[in-house]
Structure 1
Amino acid sequence: MKSILLIYGLVYLLSVSPTYMVDNDKICWQENVILTVNDFQSLYPPVPEYVFKAQAWSKCSITVIRRSKKDGNDFCDVRVYFIKSKSWFEISKTDSRINNEVLAHEQLHFDIEELVGRKIRKCADDYYKINTKYSLELNSQIDCIFQERRALHSLYDEETDHGAIENKQIKWKEIIKSELDNLNDYKSTPKDCAM
């Protein structure tokens, strides 16, 4: 009887888990999923001196996995995650407005990760329209996108002063939304999160 209840409980938990939750530590990017303070679970900033420069740190991950279809042709799975245990947030106890501004800034970092994921999906899709097998050429193209990723995050932080310059933050949000919309055919789906 206990084992039946245990199995039923496990099935119930799996059936009610949100599709964007990969496991307890990762959130898969989805259109209507907004980060909250509770998603930042690291107790300390990644670098001790970083605490004096910012109020939050987001750790995101993009994985690109080469797979083969039944017909022998290759394809790429691309997954975009926010990693809770490696993300840190210093909550302002005096001004909730600051917390909201910091969350909006960190959310856009996560959205930038999704933009990069979409660029990789498009790149792989374009590549596989004329090729059936993975090659160093595609790997090189993906590496270039990852280099752009680092530069984009740095430029975003620099131009917005880590979200402190409100009009720049708004401008960046509009730019990233526009770019995400342009690559909407390549967005993360619940299927990507389930893999």
Structure 2
Amino acid sequence: MKYRFIHALYIIITYIGFTMSVQAQHVKPIQLETEDGIIWTANRKLKTSDFLGKTKSKASGKALTGANIIIIPYTYNNGKYQYQVLAKFYKKLSWINTDSNYILDHEQLHFDIAELFARKMRQEIHLVKQRSGTVLETDYRRIHKTLFQDYINFQKLYDTETKHSTIKDAQQKWNVLIAKKLESLNAYTLNLL
């Protein structure tokens, strides 16, 4: 069972997803799911039917997950935008060519790792706000840039240690590790429901 995870996908999406320069003062409400993507929530797990991308003809793996951390405006008050940090799964950039729940669970953990790093970013933003009383757009950009490389490296480490899900003991270790890390940052979970 060979699986391949393409990390360049994350880098490309980051700059598309980082929409800090908003011209209008009207902000659309956050949609948890659209035809293109899914925002991470604790009670919404990925399904095989969420993977709408086309399998690459030369792909040697079973699946590919396009997940990212995005920062979007969610409200406009007193002449300033406030932003949300979200983990997003991109349906059309993700594909799966198996019905294996085991592979699907491996892909879910990639998405969970995106949420983990979104929480780390929210934590950093909270600390900046505590220190200075306000969070500037430059703070969001700096925090995103700093933690995003850690995010990419962590995703690579996950696939390396699990050999793209083929080492079951390592996969179980990562399942437990990510669950604990998410729980340790529960204070930075968004209540989007």
Normalising by the residue count of structure 1, what TM-score does the alignment of the two structures yield?
Answer: 0.75
- Once superposed, which parts of structure 1, at least 4 consecutive aligned residues long, lie more than 4 Å away? 66-69, 71-75
Question: Structure 1: which 5+ residue stretches go unaligned?
Answer: 1-18
Q: Per-residue deviation at 1:137?
A: 5.0
Q: Per-residue deviation at 1:189?
A: 2.4
Q: Does 1:42 align with 2:69?
A: no
Give the aligned partner of residue 91 of structure 2: 84
Q: CA 1:68–1:29 in 2, change beyond 3 Å: closer, same or farther?
A: closer
CA contact (8 A) 1:76 1:124 kept: no
Within 5 Å, which residues of 2 pair with 1:1-195?
Answer: 21-45=32-56, 48-49=57-58, 51-52=59-60, 54-65=61-72, 70=77, 75-91=82-98, 99-131=100-132, 132-134=134-136, 136-190=138-192
SS at match of 1:22: coil
SS at match of 1:162: coil
CA contact (8 A) 2:52 2:93 kept: yes
Percent identity over paired residues: 30
Cα distance in 2 between the residues matched to 1:187 and 1:130: 21
Cα distance in 2 between the residues matched to 1:104 and 1:187: 21
Q: AA paired with 1:101?
A: Y
Cα distance in 2 between the residues matched to 1:69 and 1:24: 26
Normalising by the residue count of structure 2, what TM-score does the alignment of the two structures yield?
Answer: 0.76
CA contact (8 A) 2:125 2:139 kept: no
Number of residue pairs the alignment of both structures matches:
163
Q: Per-residue deviation at 1:142?
A: 2.5
Which protein has the larger Cα radius of gyration, Structure 1 or Structure 2?
1
SS at match of 2:84: strand
Q: Per-residue deviation at 1:144?
A: 1.4
Q: CA RMSD, aligned part only?
A: 2.3
Question: Structure 2: which 5+ residue stretches go unaligned?
Answer: 1-29
CA contact (8 A) 2:36 2:92 kept: yes
